[in-house]
Structure 1
Amino acid sequence: MSTPPSPPNLLAGRYQLERVLGTGGMGVVYRARDLLHEAFGEPNASVALKLLGETFCACPDAHVLLYSEFAVTRSVQHPQVVRAFSFEVDIDQQLAFFTMELMHGMTLDRLLVECPEGLPWQELQPLALQLLDALAYTHWQGVLHGDVKPANIMLGEQGLRVFDFGLGQGAAQMAAGLPGLSRSRLNAWTPAYAAPELMAGGALSASADLYGAACVIYELAQGQRPGTRQPDQPLPRPRRLPTQCWPALRTALAVDPACRSITVAQLREALGTRRRPWFL
C-alpha cells in the first residue's frame, strides 16, 4: 500500500483527521474525530490515529509492519501503556491505519525542557516506578518496547503512559511469522537512549529496554543525559537520586550488557525503597 504526502481529511468514512500530534521514524500520529461514535452520542469521540510515514509507505510489507505494531500494542493491557483500539484499511485510499486512545498531557522530553535541573525525588519516584511497572509487565507478556525514551512517555492526570511500540516486538507476533522492523531500513534508534549493543547492530532484548528506562530516570534525576561512555568510564550519581538507589541504577546503565546484571523488576524494587530518616 502507498500513501500520499498528505492523507485525506476523512478515512474509512468515519475518522476525520484534525491535526498532527507527532511524527516518528515509522509513522505519523493524528488527532481524529470518530464520527460514528459521535453520531451515537459518545462524549469522548476523539482518538489518536497512526498512519505510516513516507519513509515506509513504499515498502511492500508496510501495512503488515503497521499491523505488527498494532498487535504488539494491543497485547499489552496495562494502566501505564497506551490502549490500542482497532486496525483498519481505507479501501478507496489504499491506506492502512490503527486507532488508539487519545492521551492528554505532555511527553517527558517537554517536561525536561521545563525542568532543566531535574525533578525532586518525591516527584520523580512515582514516575520512575510507573515506567518500570509498565515495562516489567510488557516483558512478562513477552513484549519488548524497543524505543524507551522521554518522547515516547506521556505524563497526564492519570500518571504515565508508555506508547509507540513501532520498534518493538512481541513473542506472539514473532511466532505467527509477522515481519519485524529491519534496522537497515532507517536509523531507527535514538543514540542518547539506545543500548550500546543495539547501536552496534545487536538484537533487541529486555536488557536493552532496561538501559533505555535507566537513561530516562537518570535524566529526570540529573537534568542531563548519561551520554556516550566507555565501559570503564565512571558515571556521577544524579543529584536528585537517593544514595541507596544509585547502585541499582548504575548497574542498569552499564555499557556492557554482560554487566547489566539486573532486571526491570529488580530496578523497580530498588527505587521503591523509602529514604531512611536521618535520626536513625
Structure 2
Amino acid sequence: MSERLLDEASLASTPASDLTYFALAATAAKPAAQAPREVLSELPEVLGGRYKIERLLGVGGMGAVYRARDLLREQFGDPDPYVAVKTLSDDFAEYPDANSLLYSEFALTARLNHPHVVRLFGFEVDVPSQRAFLTLELLKGLTLDQLLSERPDGLPWSELQEIAIALLDALSYSHSLGVLHGDLKPSNVMLAEDGLRLFDYGLGQPVEGLLPGLPRLCRNRFTAWTPRYAALELLDGAPLTAAADVYALACVLYELASGRHPFRRQSAKQAKVMELDKQLQRPEQLPAHCWPALHTALAFDEAQRSITSAQLLEVFRQPLPSRWPRWLKRSG
C-alpha cells in the first residue's frame, strides 16, 4: 500500500529471502480436478463499477495492491477519493477457494480497530471479471525495509523505542482479539504520515475457536512463509501460533536495532544447524534491560520462546534506568 510505485526492475531486484514463499503442495486440488469455473478475465480498468485502477503499488504472496480512485466519493466531492485495492494474483485466483481466503483476510482485519493496524473498508466481487478484491486505506510513507536500507547501522534507541512500541502494541492488540498475522516482516510495516501501520494479514488466521465458520489457509495444501522471519515450527509444518508471530517480530526488532538480521539472513532451520543462536549478542543500540526479553523471543524452540507480544511491549515501554543514583553515590 505504499505510494512508491514498484516497476518490473525494482521487483526483480528484491532479495529472494525478503519474499513470501507461497508454494502449492503436491496434494493441492487444482481447478482441473474440481468442477470447472469461469476463466478470469483481465483486471478491468474499473472494479465493481466504482474503483478506477491507477497504478500498481506492490505485490505479495497472494496478490497485488493498486492505487485506485473511488469514483463514487469523487462524484460527491470528496477531495481525497483515493483508496488501495488488493486483488488476487492470476495464478492464485485460479484455485476454487481463493476468493474465500481473500474474504478471510477481510474478516480478520475488519475485526481490528487500532491506530497502528491498517483500516479495511470492504470486500467485493467484480461480477463481469469474477475478481474478488479488498478496499483499504491508501498509505503513504516508508516501509521498514526501505527505512533499513537508508539506516544500515540500525536506529538509535529514541527512534527504535517509538517504532517498537507502536508495532508491539498493534500485534498484542491483534493477539488479544484472537487474530494471528502470519507474515510479519519489515515490508509489511509502514511508517505512514499519521503513524505506523501493520498491514497484510493475508496469511493470517484466527486462533482456535474464533470465527469457526471462517475459511482458513490449510497448510497441508498451501505452505506460506517468508523464510528469514518464519519460526522453526512453521518450517517443520506446525500450525501458525502467536509464538510464531513473536519470533518474526523479534527478528524485525533486532534488525531495527542493529541493521542486521539476527541470524545472518538465514532461515531458522539453517541457523539452528549452524548454531547461530549461540553467537547472538545484544545490539549496541538496544538497552540492556530489553535484551533478555528479546533474546527469549528469538528462541528457535517454541517451548523456550516463553514470552508474549504483550510482555515484550511492557519491556520496551520501560524508560532507561536513571544514572542519577549512581552519580550521587559516587559523589557522596
Question: Normalising by the residue count of structure 1, what TM-score does the alignment of the two structures yield?
Answer: 0.95
Q: Does 1:82 align with 2:118?
A: yes
Match of 1:239 among 281, 284, 300: 284
Partner of 2:180: 144
Partner of 1:56: 92
Alignment of 1:52-131 (within 5 A): 52-131=88-167
Partner of 1:17: 53
Contact 1:79–1:161 under 8 Å retained in 2: yes
**Pair 131,150 (structure 1): closer, same or farther in 2 beyond 3 Å:** same
**Secondary structure of 1:81 counterpart:** coil
**Secondary structure of 2:225 counterpart:** coil
Partner of 1:274: 319
The higher radius of gyration belongs to 2
Alpha-carbon distance in structure 2 between the residues aligned to 1:136 and 1:59: 33
Contact 2:219–2:239 under 8 Å retained in 1: no
- How far residue 174 of structure 1 moved from its aligned partner, in angstroms, is 5.5
Identity of aligned residues (%): 56
Structure 2 runs not aligned, ≥5 long? 1-37, 326-332
Contact 1:127–1:159 under 8 Å retained in 2: no
Question: Normalising by the residue count of structure 2, what TM-score does the alignment of the two structures yield?
Answer: 0.80
How many residues are aligned here?
Answer: 279
- How far residue 186 of structure 1 moved from its aligned partner, in angstroms, is 5.2
Match of 1:197 among 224, 233, 236: 233
Alpha-carbon distance in structure 1 between the residues aligned to 2:40 and 2:295: 44
- CA RMSD in angstroms comes to 1.7
Alpha-carbon distance in structure 1 between the residues aligned to 2:122 and 2:224: 25
Partner of 2:303: 258
Structure with the larger RCO, 1 or 2 (CA within 8 Å, 6+ apart) = 2
Further displaced range: 21-30 or 269-278: 269-278
Partner of 1:39: 75
**Secondary structure of 1:30 counterpart:** strand
Contact 1:147–1:165 under 8 Å retained in 2: yes
Alpha-carbon distance in structure 1 between the residues aligned to 2:178 and 2:115: 17
Partner of 1:3: 40
Q: Does 1:249 align with 2:294?
A: yes
Q: Does 1:160 align with 2:196?
A: yes
Alpha-carbon distance in structure 1 between the residues aligned to 2:221 and 2:88: 14
Contact 2:246–2:308 under 8 Å retained in 1: yes
1:38-87 CA deviation, whole Å, 9 max, x = no partner?
10011221001010012311101111111111111101111000011011
- How far residue 185 of structure 1 moved from its aligned partner, in angstroms, is 5.0
Alpha-carbon distance in structure 2 between the residues aligned to 1:154 and 1:173: 31
- How far residue 217 of structure 1 moved from its aligned partner, in angstroms, is 0.5
Contact 1:147–1:190 under 8 Å retained in 2: yes
Contact 1:86–1:99 under 8 Å retained in 2: yes
**Pair 254,172 (structure 1): closer, same or farther in 2 beyond 3 Å:** closer
Partner of 2:5: none
- How far residue 33 of structure 1 moved from its aligned partner, in angstroms, is 0.3
**Secondary structure of 1:110 counterpart:** helix
